[in-house]
Structure 1
Amino acid sequence: MVGNNFWIRTVKSWIERDYPNLITHGYKLTSADTPDYNCVAWAAEDDQNWWWPDTQGLHYWPPGVPREETIEAFKQAFQTLGYEVCEDHGLEEGFQKIAIYANSNKVPTHVARQLPSGKWTSKLGQDEDIEHNNLQGLTGQPGYGEIAYIMKRPITG
């Protein structure tokens, strides 16, 4: 992590402008920006690809999943990784969880992944990764909208 105080202040100023709920709910920067992957890939634990269902096929999207910006397509993409819809976003021993956010038009906007501590990790577009204390830190407008789905899968190995 870059230790430059000016850089940290600059990054935090735009994050807190775009996601004001993070100020109340708490977060910390965990990595510098990179265009190598996005939030969907980060939630899928893939830091080598940019995941998006673009119709041109420029970005990675799981085979057999419709290339469309719908909550259903995002749900299906994570089902290919063993995730299933669940109701509770709380920490559950033996499971890893993700949260799919959507805007008021039900278009997916973001995916976050739960950490073993119960906190969450997110990649903010092509920008920084953050650890946030809960899902509410990224909700609202400005923000990523609301939670559309919580999904979980068993932790293996």
Structure 2
Amino acid sequence: MMTRRFFGIFAAVATAFLPARAASQATGTPRRLHDDIPVAAQWIANALQSSGYSADFTPKSISEVERFFREQTKDGEPISGGLLAQDLGPRLFALGCYCGEVLRKELGGHWQTDDNDPEGEINAALEVASGVTCWPMQRVMKRLRSSEDDLVAWAEGIRRG
């Protein structure tokens, strides 16, 4: 079982995306995390593409997310003035959504979310069709802190089951 203990920044990451889950002004109904995941994935794909990264939801594109981390972080921190220097929480959440959506589209499966969990954005899990469960947002947060947590190797492990 995966440990879900995080340092201070990780709690901040989870709460940073909460405004997007607030009640919709048009309907007055709360947004569901399950519905926000593909929206966030598409948003970050567009942002990555506009910055020169190939984010087309193909399996190979996870290597582009890995390249993004290599270029936009140093010693476990966003580089000053880089693409992660602002709005870190929402961007990490969206990058996790993107990586998860790439795997879901490739391998099949579904997201497991809990809108009552105050750390639902961190704890959202993806269960692929083979039965393997992974936590893409947690993996992306770990990748921020350590270049040894390579996203390509992680995705390959999920594919192998």
Q: Same fold (TM over 0.5)?
A: no
Task: Return the structure number with greater helix share.
Answer: 2
- TM-score, length basis structure 1: 0.31
Structure with more of its chain in strand, by fraction = 1
Greater RCO, 1 or 2 (C-alpha within 8 Å, sep 6+): 1
